[in-house]
Structures are given as structure tokens and as C-alpha cells.
A and B are shown apart, each in its own frame.
Chain A
Amino acid sequence: MAKTKEISRRIKSVANTKKITRAMEMVAAAKMRKALEAVLKTRTYANLSWETVLRLAKLSQAQSEPLHRLLTKRKKINRVAIIVITSNRGLCGGFNSALIAKIKESIVRHPVKTDFILVGRKGTPLYGLPNTEVAAEFSKEDILTSISEIAPIGKMAASDYLSRKYDKVLVAYTDFISASSQIARVKQILPVDLNVDEYLGVASSNPKIGVTKEMITEKSNEHLAVEQGKYEFVFEPSPRAVLDKIIPRLLEIQLYQAFLESNASEHSARMSAMHQATEAASDMVAELTLFYNKARQAGITAEIAEISAGANALAE
């Protein structure tokens, strides 16, 4: 009897866990819908602005003198910064570990001194990696409501880049592709460079979601080429005044979009992790119920055997 009691206790406990994971799944699904809406709303704007930035970068490359300091590539890379966008909470499957693995991989590939700017609480495994340092840690709100919330991060990145503390600024985030697939990605945001261009959105050339290098080239050829790949642009009031305003702003938008993508990815990763947990709990309950019934049956059989043995002994 003792065995059946133990099993039934376990069944109860698993069933309770299942209730929790199911609730979490539903909460994550609701949050995902919201985050997704936010991503999709900003995507057109972000992609169009990224197109503009790349066009400017291309223009800058074509000229003998770079248009803006934020567009200039540096020859020697001494130190890079990576802005790492992780989640605040766990229980979201491989969301954070995939991102961190991606970062480690990129560090191994580019062995320069790296500073991390952590956003979100789950970036702690990056402390203490060789040749790296954590320069800053920003807290992250669970729901990102406005672009001004991430402005300090963007400003810090831009000013540290301009002061030559860093020669490259990258952002590590998770791209939202669909509810069932998210990709961890490290993207260079400073200096803006056409040749290493990675775009927010998807690895496919789906024009609805991402902008590729080919598309930019094609578009600038279509819209800008005057003669033989010569580009002409008028800046009003002056190139400096325009670019000083436009480039930081556009970078901010890229960063903002990266945050939104990460948020949507986090919630959908949590949703699928919790869905799996719920399913696993159901399986476990079914298995335990089987054990329970077997144990109960065994108990009854043993009791009957005992009784009938007793009866037999009395009859003799």
C-alpha cells in the first residue's frame, strides 16, 4: 500500500507542475502576440531607415572623403563592444544559451579585446571570459514601450565609438522569424559597413522582412545612379548637419528594432519551452498512472492470495 500512496503523491505533484507550465505557456503566448505586433509595426520603418543608412554608407565609400565619422571604417581594430540583449527571466528554453554560444563563437573567430554591454539579467555567463570585460550592465524593462528607453545605450555606444574607445560596436540579439524559429545573431552596427551588412529580419531574401545587400545595390542603382555608378545627393541644410542628426537616430532605431525582435523571440521561445514542459508532464502523469494501477492491482492480488491462503488453512 505504501508504494501506491507514494505514486499517487507524485502524480499530484506532476499534475500541479503541469498546471503551472500551462499557465506560463498561455501568458507567454499573450505576451508574444503583443511583442510581435510591436515588431511588425516597426519593421517597415526600421528596414527603410536601414536602407537609408546603407545608401549613405555606400555613398560615403564612393567618395574620396568619408561623409561622417560614424560611417568611417577603421583600419586597426583594438577593441570592440558587443551589446548583448538577453532576457530577464529563465524558463525559455535555449533562448539565452543560444545567444551566448553565438557570442562565444564570434569571439573565438575575432580574437580582439571585447567589452560587453549587457542588457537583461541573463547575460551573466559572459562574466570572466578570457580577453573580455563587462563594461556596463543595463536593466531591461519587460515591456519596451518607447524608443527613448533604449536611448542611453545607443548614446553610450556612439560616443564610445567616436572617442575611439571602441573600433567596432556590435549588437547580439535574437531575430524573430516565426513562433517556432528564432535565430541568435551578432550584427555590426558601428561603423556602418556595406560589406558586412547583416539586416534585421530574416536570413531569407524576403523583402517584407529584411533588407539584403543585393536589394540595396539594386535599389540604389535604380534610384540614385546618375551615370556609371556615380551618386549624387543633396543635403539640406548641409551634409554635416543632416548626417549628425540622421545617423545616430537611425542607429537608435536599429537598436530598438533589435530589442523588439529579441522580446518577441523570448516570449515565443518561452511559449514553446512551456508547451513542451506541459506535454512532458502529461506523458509523465500517464506513465505514473499506469504504475499506480499496476501497484494497486499487485496489492489486491497479494491480499486475495493471503486471504485465500488463510481460508485454506482454516478449512483443513
Chain B
Amino acid sequence: MSENKSIKFEIVTPERVLLKEQILSVSVPTTSGEVTILPDHIPLISILKPGVLEIHLVNGEISLMSVSGGFLEVLKNKIVILADTAEKAEELDEERIKNARLKAEEMRTSEKFKDDVEFADLAVRLEKELAREHTLNKWRKLKGFKKE
């Protein structure tokens, strides 16, 4: 365990800066599997896929975020995530996600899409919503355990 070592972390989307602070470690879903980055990681560039981002903050808390894709850049003691979209778990709205996912699923099964492009679009949307749902579930679990 690296108790006192921390690393600069920054996650931004085109809309906003979600988090910019020192952290202990972060787990990131990339196209080649989930990676966990600890301080002193070698420089790395990778592509994100939709999924859950798990950030271990310096104060011992865990922050969860849902990302829908983007890039991860690890520099010497600095992590930058350029996400297409990202939300903190506590901001996610279950009702909305469920509806969006059901809608996407429905559209995909109804075979109403015009071409491959649209199909791919739907598949991506579905994946994003699933990632959001997953994030929310994980967060609930985390909070539930903490309360006990």
C-alpha cells in the first residue's frame, strides 16, 4: 500500500472539469481491460471505454464516476482523463438512466434503424447507459456497506 504517496489527477469533459486534486489511485476502464494507476506509473496513453471510474481520494474516500469513452493520459505523476462525457455517481438519476436504456434497447430490437451507422450509434448509447447504471449500483453498494 502506498499510504502517503499521491498523484495529481484531473478529469475533464468538453463541458466541465469534474475533479482536479491529489489522489492515491484510480481504476480506469480501457479498451484493453481495466487498469489501476498508482503513483509513479510509467507514462501511458490509452483509450477509455464506457464504464466505471473508481477514484481513491487522499482522505480515504472512494469517488465513483461513470464515463462514456475518451482518453487516458498518464504522465510522470500526473493523470489526465479527457472524457467524452462523465458524471459523478451521486449525480446520476436512476429513473432517467433506466428509461434511456429501455428506449435504446427497444429501438435496437425493433429493427427500425436505417443503416449500420445508426445501429452502431444505438449500440454505443446502450453501452453508455449500462455503464451509468452499473456505476450507480456500485455506488449504492459502497454507500450501503459504509452505513452498516
Residues of A within 8 A of B (CB): 41-42, 44-46, 48-49, 52, 56, 147, 219, 222-225, 231-237, 241-242, 245-246, 249, 253, 256
The answer to whether B42 touches A253 (Cβ under 8 A) is no
Closest 4 CB pairs of A and B: A223-B75, A236-B46, A223-B76, A237-B32
The answer to whether B17 touches A234 (Cβ under 8 A) is no
Q: How far in angstroms is the closest Cβ of chain A from B44?
A: 5
The answer to whether B71 touches A41 (Cβ under 8 A) is no
The answer to whether A224 touches B45 (Cβ under 8 A) is no
The residue of chain A having its C-beta at the shortest distance from the C-beta of B78 within the complex is A223
- Interface flag for B82 (CB, 8 Å): yes
Q: How far in angstroms is the closest Cβ of chain A from B11?
A: 10
Q: How many A-B residue pairs have CB under 8 A?
A: 72
The residue of chain A having its C-beta at the shortest distance from the C-beta of B8 within the complex is A223
The residue of chain B having its C-beta at the shortest distance from the C-beta of A246 within the complex is B71
CA distance A236 to B34 in the complex (A): 11
The answer to whether B14 touches A147 (Cβ under 8 A) is yes
Measured between beta carbons, the chain A residues less than 8 angstroms from B46 are 235-237, 242
- Interface flag for B47 (CB, 8 Å): yes
Q: Is the interface of A mostly helix, strand, loop or mixed?
A: helix
- Interface flag for B12 (CB, 8 Å): yes
Measured between beta carbons, the chain B residues less than 8 angstroms from A232 are 42-43
Q: How far in angstroms is the closest Cβ of chain A from B49?
A: 11
Residues of B within 8 A of A (CB): 10, 12-17, 30-32, 35, 42-47, 71, 73, 75-78, 80, 82
Known: A42-B14, A234-B43, A256-B14. 17 other contacts (CB 8 A): A41-B14, A42-B15, A44-B12, A45-B12, A45-B14, A52-B45, A52-B71, A52-B73, A52-B82, A223-B78, A224-B43, A234-B44, A234-B45, A236-B46, A241-B31, A242-B45, A242-B47
Residue among B32, B77, B80 making CB contact with A236, cutoff 8 Å: B32
The answer to whether B76 touches A48 (Cβ under 8 A) is no
The residue of chain A having its C-beta at the shortest distance from the C-beta of B20 within the complex is A44
The residue of chain B having its C-beta at the shortest distance from the C-beta of A225 within the complex is B76
The answer to whether A223 touches B77 (Cβ under 8 A) is yes
Measured between beta carbons, the chain A residues less than 8 angstroms from B32 are 236-237
* Cross-chain pairs A/B with CB under 8 angstroms, 5 sampled: A45-B12, A49-B82, A223-B76, A225-B76, A236-B30
CA distance A231 to B44 in the complex (A): 11
The residue of chain B having its C-beta at the shortest distance from the C-beta of A249 within the complex is B71
Q: How far in angstroms is the closest Cβ of chain B from A311?
A: 83
CA distance A249 to B73 in the complex (A): 14
CA distance A52 to B71 in the complex (A): 10
Measured between beta carbons, the chain B residues less than 8 angstroms from A233 are 43-45
CA distance A161 to B80 in the complex (A): 29
Residue among B75, B76, B82 making CB contact with A45, cutoff 8 Å: B82
Q: How far in angstroms is the closest Cβ of chain B from A298?
A: 65
The answer to whether B10 touches A48 (Cβ under 8 A) is yes
Measured between beta carbons, the chain B residues less than 8 angstroms from A46 are 14
Q: How far in angstroms is the closest Cβ of chain A from B83?
A: 9
CA distance A222 to B76 in the complex (A): 8
CA distance A222 to B15 in the complex (A): 28
Known: A48-B10, A48-B82. A224 touches B44 (CB 8 A): no
CA distance A222 to B82 in the complex (A): 20
CA distance A240 to B136 in the complex (A): 34
The answer to whether A241 touches B45 (Cβ under 8 A) is no
Measured between beta carbons, the chain A residues less than 8 angstroms from B14 are 41-42, 45-46, 147, 253, 256
CA distance A219 to B75 in the complex (A): 10
Measured between beta carbons, the chain B residues less than 8 angstroms from A225 are 76
Q: How far in angstroms is the closest Cβ of chain B from A271?
A: 25
Q: How far in angstroms is the closest Cβ of chain B from A273?
A: 30
The answer to whether B45 touches A48 (Cβ under 8 A) is no
Measured between beta carbons, the chain A residues less than 8 angstroms from B77 are 223
CA distance A176 to B2 in the complex (A): 44
CA distance A44 to B17 in the complex (A): 7
Residue among A45, A46, A232 with max Cβ neighbours from chain B (10 Å): A45
CA distance A219 to B43 in the complex (A): 13
